[in-house]
Amino acid sequence: MNEPVRLELSAGPPVYSTGVPHPPVEFAGPEHYSAEDTAALADDAATIIGRYPQSRSALLPLLHLVQSHDGYLTRAGIAFCAEQLDLTAAQVASVATFYSMYRRAPTGDYLVGICTNTLCAVMGGDAIASRITDELGVRPGETTADGRVTVEHVECNAACDHAPVVMVNWEFFDDQTPESVQQLLDDLRAGVPRSPTRGSDTLCTFRQTARLLAGVEEAPK
């Protein structure tokens, strides 16, 4: 008979295989909102919370609400959500860091996600990413100096029949090429309206999209 296996659980922090502790999750930005901003956000928060039988169920849309205010999740935003829902900041942060739609760094007016998973990469996604980052002078995850565009790699968007796919504020732009994406970004930075390939006829800014996801603003016609 095999000897029993005994597992000793450590009370210390989780560690990497190299023995280095996980870095703490940190949020930047202001610690508190002004009284005026708090009052305006609280009005919207009350509308959102009123839709749910349990207030904590409103956390996801509230995170979108504060993200629409700041352009990303700040310390003030985390504290505001915690206070509105009677949660701890740690509880709010644990949810905020689970979903990639919640940003922890200032984000441009247009969040451009280039799919570089296998099929999109083979069909031209890698070439698009290389062209765009070179032209904009940024690396994935960074924002242009004018604050208009943030570029990132994204995982598969389940649109492989239209590869390579580029997402702008989570709207689809299908069957793209390096040239078409370059023109798209040139237009957006110049203020020229562009419509997604499918879905909405209007491409909203990042903050407008966050308000739509929070449920405090209707989609433009």
To the nearest 10 degrees (0 to 180), the angle between helices 75-85 and 35-49 is 50
Name the one residue in this structure whose structure tokens are 């740690």: 90
Q: Which amino acids are annotated as binding site, given as ranges? A: 115, 120, 156, 160
| Dihedral sign for Cα atoms in the order 102, 103, 106, 108 | negative
- Annotate 179-202 with b (16+ C-beta within 10 A) or e (fewer): eebbebbeebbeeeeeebeeebee
Q: Which amino acids are annotated as binding site for [2Fe-2S] cluster, given as ranges? A: 115, 120, 156, 160
- Annotate 137-151 with b (16+ C-beta within 10 A) or e (fewer): ebebebbbeeebbbb
> Where would I find the H helices in 110-158?
118-120, 126-136
Q: How far apart (Å, rounded) are the C-alpha atoms in residues 60 and 86? A: 14
